[in-house]
Amino acid sequence: MYHTEKKGLLLVRLWKRYLLVNVKEEEVYEIDPQTVKPAGNNVEWSLADKPSEPLETPEWKTRNVGPMQQVSFRLGKNGSVLQLQIPLKINGQPAY
């Protein structure tokens, strides 16, 4: 998982697939892997390459679980559930 400089935007790698997760807007976009270039522990990718339409993500849930914010959603109507755990700062705000 990679985070952008803008809070609430996460780039998640699932094998050969990349998902851009917008936590605040509760949206997920599938990113073309050809547009993502590894650079050490980071990746280079442009927000301009984001598709215009998000994936269908029913059952979006966000909750606080101690020092983490847990975000879970279903990919598509009958797809798998993806669960992310985002660390929280001392003030309770997400670190990413």
Residue 83 falls within a domain, yes or no? Answer: yes
For the stretch 24-77, pLDDT in tens is: 899 999 999 999 998 888 888 888 888 999 999 989 999 988 888 899 999 988
How far separated are the first and last CA of the chain, in Å rounded? 11
3-state SS class at 49: helix
CA distance 49 to 7: 18
CA distance 37 to 44: 5
pTM for this prediction:
0.82
The tokens for 82 are: 């993806």
Which pLDDT does position 4 carry in this prediction? 61
Residue 95 falls within a domain, yes or no? Answer: no
Residue 22 falls within a domain, yes or no? Answer: yes
Which pLDDT does position 9 carry in this prediction? 83
What average pLDDT score do residues 82-89 get? 88
Q: What's the number of domains the chain is made of?
A: 1
